[in-house]
Structure 1
């Protein structure tokens, strides 16, 4: 994936355009393209540190930085007050990981191998976590729909209060999940340790830390450019902010991780592919979403977890079909087509969704 790094040319392009007051759409596109390789570099640096740190600390590092790029982008959108974009990016990540990434991995892996097998126990554990995450994320929306008929004047603040309480519970659940996988039941997801089959030379710790810090700073600047030009760019490109949040931002933020899941499937390592796609989904639901709610308090942008009925139905459908595909411990190319088909239909629905 070294060719991916060629996109780094858009980093200075975005900076020059921003400094010289260039076209907002060009700044938006340049920043988005620059984030793609930067996310990959962050992942590479994290992996280098994980190999050096050992399986337990390494697993924790991978879990912590797995969705760092997307969290940074969402944070700048949150700071700018684009709460609906932030919430759409959370839902979009779940949909992207469960339908687009898993679908591509299963399809391309299935075209190369007639049938691919993976651990039923590991897949079942992640599928259960996904179901619980869906229920937890659905409650604020259901609460909002029912509470409006009882107390329409107070429901806005009540939504925020419930979301903050839900965020704390979700983070506690995530900590328990990490402890479960890294301590008490690490044999269940032991295949994830195959990430230790590191290819290429090992970096020194200072180099890995330096690269991670540098890439994180660069992603922060590009994210600020991206969010700052979002309104003008979407108007020029004929897209809605809802579409950008639900479809584009998750793809931009997770492109490197997505590519890794597909490459592992092509190597017939479906356990690793599932660990990446499903594990990333669990992290978004149990860590990224609640962190953004709590960060909203710090930056003076109170955010709730109430989503549109379309988004609620979409994640419900994604979790349902994702569960049905992974429960039997084997996959084929047709299942990949089904996952991708659902994602494309949802993408069309979001594209045609009317702007308020």
Structure 2
């Protein structure tokens, strides 16, 4: 259904070659990334079908947010640290409020209530609480540590990043090995529909094209800011997460409409955990290797008070949803309302 958007792949390349206005390049590359991300997801699913549930789950966990990681890498290499940080917090917020909210709303329109595994959801909610702590502590450290004696914030962030990666590895052991039954949901094993070589080529080709489109996207941000008057922060926290996760968002909504709420919840919350506990730490460690940007800044985990507050409130909402293992359409509408309110705050925030 999303693959008709592939027409924007050659279109964005042509626009980049002829040096078209940045807004056109940004829009076409953003739309091109959506079907390419879907193709990456499809190829990963096909490869996962050829392995056991443990290896298959590891493949999905590894490649689940590859599109967002690529976009963040490109922005990190370009020195656009504000965009990278905003895309991290924005992805967490959009996965919990937008994706989960839309899934619950669409799935509940024809049903009185829907049920999911509250134990698995509660485990994921606890992991997200850990992510909030990881975001809050650098901000507190920056406030209370005496400047003349404090360890540089980037070193503190690197230590936090290592801890987060270790706990993410342990969470994979928990969900894929020791407590696999909690996360299996209603999904049933299906045979692969593609040849192995086809899946590998599709994954490789779509990954290369996503990297190319991400280069176009990041390179045109400055012109979009000038043309539309939007802040880089707003583009990072709202636009990039929606573009990078569009295919995954669509899948979660489809699962919910089929009354497969375990899968829908796992997609939304699982993606959130990957971003917060894996992608963000990886970016910190890569940033440490790259060094400061043109402004002399190092990449760290110091987020703005508004971002930290928004993420904390989103995680609180997820915990409230996960408590009883049931949802209804009104809860979905409430999550979407919170997302819209936060979006307005991000939009009107001065640059």
Name the TM-score, length of structure 1 as normaliser: 0.94
Q: Distance in 1 between matches of 2:218 and 2:276?
A: 22
Output one character per residue of 1:61-105: Cα deviation in whole Å (capped at 9) or x when no partner: 000001000000011100110001100000000000000000000
Partner residue of 1:63?
Answer: 61
Partner residue of 1:322?
Answer: 318
Partner residue of 2:9?
Answer: 11
Q: CA deviation at 1:154?
A: 6.9
Q: Is the 8 A contact 1:265 1:273 kept in 2?
A: yes
Q: CA deviation at 1:297?
A: 2.3
Matches within 5 A, 1:51-90: 51-90=49-88
Partner residue of 2:212?
Answer: 221
User: CA separation of 1:108/1:212 partners in 2, compared to 1, >3 Å: closer, same or farther?
Assistant: same
Q: Distance in 1 between matches of 2:64 and 2:321?
A: 23
Among 157, 182, 185, the alignment partner of 1:188 is 182
Q: Is the 8 A contact 1:137 1:285 kept in 2?
A: no
Among 258, 271, 285, the alignment partner of 1:280 is 271
Q: State the secondary structure of the residue aligned to 1:53.
A: coil
Partner residue of 1:125?
Answer: 123
Q: Is the 8 A contact 1:170 1:290 kept in 2?
A: yes
Partner residue of 1:91?
Answer: 89
Q: State the secondary structure of the residue aligned to 2:20.
A: coil
| Structure 1: tracts of 5 or more residues without a match | none
User: CA separation of 1:195/1:61 partners in 2, compared to 1, >3 Å: closer, same or farther?
Assistant: farther
Output one character per residue of 1:280-319: Cα deviation in whole Å (capped at 9) or x when no partner: 1011111000011111123334310001110011011000
Partner residue of 1:252?
Answer: 243
Matches within 5 A, 1:103-182: 103-147=101-145, 150-151=146-147, 158-182=152-176
Among 307, 313, 337, the alignment partner of 2:309 is 313
Q: CA deviation at 1:27?
A: 0.8
Partner residue of 1:296?
Answer: 287
Q: Is the 8 A contact 2:135 2:303 kept in 1?
A: no
Structure 1 segments, 4+ long, off by >4 Å, are none
Q: Distance in 2 between matches of 1:325 and 1:191?
A: 17
Q: Is the 8 A contact 2:116 2:325 kept in 1?
A: yes
Q: Distance in 1 between matches of 2:126 and 2:24?
A: 43
Q: Distance in 1 between matches of 2:26 and 2:188?
A: 34
Q: State the secondary structure of the residue aligned to 1:112.
A: coil
Identify the range of structure 1 (177-186 vs 42-51) with the bigger mean alpha-carbon deviation: 177-186
Q: Distance in 1 between matches of 2:118 and 2:164?
A: 25
Q: Distance in 2 between matches of 1:133 and 1:18?
A: 38
Q: Distance in 2 between matches of 1:121 and 1:240?
A: 40
The total of aligned residue pairs comes to: 346
| Structure 2: tracts of 5 or more residues without a match | 293-297
Name the TM-score, length of structure 2 as normaliser: 0.96
